[in-house]
Structures are given as structure tokens and as C-alpha cells.
Amino acid sequence: RRFYRNKMRSFSRTLVALSLAAACTAFSPSFGVGKSSFRPAVAEQHATTSSNVGRTSSTQLSMSATVDLKGKVAFVAGVADSTGYGWAIAKALADAGATIIVGTWPPVLKIFQMGLKRGNFDEDATLSDGSKMEIAKVYPLDAVFDEPDDVPAEIKDNKRYAGLDGYTISEVAKAVEADYGKIDILVHSLANGPEVTKPLLDTSRKGYLAASSASAYSAVSLLQKFGPIMNEGGSMLSLTYVASEKVIPGYGGGMSSAKAQLESDTRVLAFEAGRKWGTRVNTISAGPLKSRAASAIGKEPGQKTFIEYAIDYSQANAPLAQDLYSDDVGNAGLFLCSDMARSVTGVTLYVDNGLNCMGMALDSNSMEGTLTGKV
């Protein structure tokens, strides 16, 4: 019995030694991964109002110091100005060294290109080292069309598409392959619901399917066409919204359904693309931002827009009562697209100051005189 106890003690010591050795080898890089630094840019205080949320933060969280994307190519679909999350993600990737190419909706392509040429976006393109983000190439992209034969005559003859061709998803993928060979990162930052201001009960079949086509299936099609030209270990990222799972009055026209589809497809595509190409697929559920596109929802003279209501509601009820900036989502996107997230796929990551976890509105009239979390 004494011999048996001695053997067990010796075995236990061996296990402890092996465990410590493993902790000092296989897991030791974790001490250096994910380090970040705050870079104070301008010592100014922003008022907590919905009018300033589209701007970048005065205190930026920089992860680029520990993420090296030099030699990587990122295609960002859905960039048409510097106010949205697509631009913020592109900027964060560029700050880490990635080559940025973008796809822009044909009707606004010339306006965007002119803005780039005139330097209209230079302030929003400033990187951590003081240089400007360079967009290596802008491709016309209409993500509701997969192949050239899908484009109807009324689109081909539309003056907003005049002089343009090769803007279907398959054609853009071939053009990117011809220009760059392989890419490493694919970002889906586009959505459209022609009847977004209508309640679901008033939404037509055509409007509902249009929202699904532009906002959800477009992500599937992008990965179908770009997946074969992505390097193994590549990453696809999309953007979703909490309306996929919670009721958000004013976000109608089938858009809430489209976002639910996008999140479900993220999980399925994570499995299929992971096994087929070694590609990771994730989505960010971002809080409200006063971007150009979002500001167009429900705009009535003399009234706040839908997005302004959403921003004010978030600031009043989210666990973190602070502004949400585009670079908050940009840095989350950088993490998901980098090797730091090499084992993360099929995830919906909330970047919304925690609003998604709330089940009760603190600023509701029914909550007056009760505990609201204020200290």
C-alpha cells in the first residue's frame, strides 16, 4: 500500500511538471497576443448626443501594433464614403498593413471616386503613423447580380450605370483575381431594403425579397465567387444588426428578416467554407451609427431620423452609457480578420455597448422611481 501511495505521488508530480511545461510552451504566446494601447489623439470632450456618433473616437484603441497584415489583400464590398462601418474596417486593416481594394455601388461610384481624388476623405483616412489610407483600386459592384445574364435591360440602360460593365459579383471576383491573384480578407458591408420604412405587415413580397437579396444572399454569393481565390486561413466578415433577434420598430421592409438570414448563413458558411477552403466566417452585430446610409431611413422634415432615435435609445439604456464610434467596430473587425482570431468562426460578435443584453428600457416612463443602474 505504501508502495502504491509513493507511485501515485510520483505520478502526480509528473503530471504537474508536464502541465507546467505545456503552459510555458504551447500557450506562452498568449501573453503577447492581444496587447493594445490607447493613443490619445485630441484632448477634447465630445457631448453625448446622437449628432456626433458618426465620427471617429478622440481616443482610439490601436491593435495594429500587434497585428501584421503586410502582404495581405482585403476586398471590402460596400464602401461609398467615410462615414460607415465598412470604411472603419478598411481603415483598421490598412493600419495593420493590408492592401485595401473596395467594391462600390455603381450609381455612387463616380461621386466616391471624385471625393477620393479631391481629398474629401483625407481626414477620415489618417492612420496611426500619420499617413493616409490608400485604396489601391475601386471596383464597380452591384451585389444583387451574380452573373452578367442576371442584369435586366432597365439596369443596363439606366444612366446611372452608363459606361460601366463588369459589376456583377462573378465579374468582380474575376477582375480581382486578374489584378491580385489571391486575397486574404473579404468584408461584406452592404445592405438595402427598398421598403425599410414600412412595417412588415405592409411590406410587399417584392420589397421583402429585395431586402433579402441585397442584404443576405449577397454575402452567400460573394463567398461563393471569392472563396476559390482566397488563401487558406482567410477570413470573411459581415455586418448585422440586433433587429435580427429583437423587435426594432421602424426597421421594416423585411430588413430584420434579412439580418436574421445573414446570421444564420454565417454559421452554415463557417462550416462549409471552413471545410472547403479553410476560411473563417464571422459577423459583427454593430450598434447604431449615424452613417450616410442609415440617416436616410425614416427621414421626415422637422423630426429625428430612425437612426437618431436608435442612437439616443442606446445611450439611455445600454450598460455602457457612451458613444459608439466607427473605429470601435473597425478594431473588432481587425481582430476577427487577423490571426489572433484564427480559431474563431461562425460567431456573431456584438459591438454595441452591451445593448443586446438588455431586456428592459431604463428610460421607460414605467421605470420612473425605480433602480435604473445609476450610481
Give me the active site residues, please: 241, 251
Measured CA to CA, the distance from residue 257 to residue 249 in angstroms comes to 13
Cβ-contact 149, 295 below 8 angstroms: no
* Cβ count within 10 A of residue 89: 30
Inter-residue contact 326 to 87 (CB < 8 Å): yes
Give the C-alpha distances (Å, rounded to integers) separating 261 from 69, 71, 185, 243, 273. Answer: 30, 33, 22, 11, 17
**What's the CA dihedral at 178, 120, 82, 184 to 10 degrees?**
20
Cα atoms in the 13 Å half-sphere on the side-chain side of 144: 16
Taking CA atoms, 307 is separated from 77, 135, 299, in Å, by 22, 28, 9
Q: How far apart are CA 315 and CA 317, in angstroms?
A: 6
How far is the C-alpha of 172 from the C-alpha of 76, rounded, in Å?
A: 12
Nine cell digits for residue 332: 473588432
- Written as nine digits, the cell of 233 is 486561413
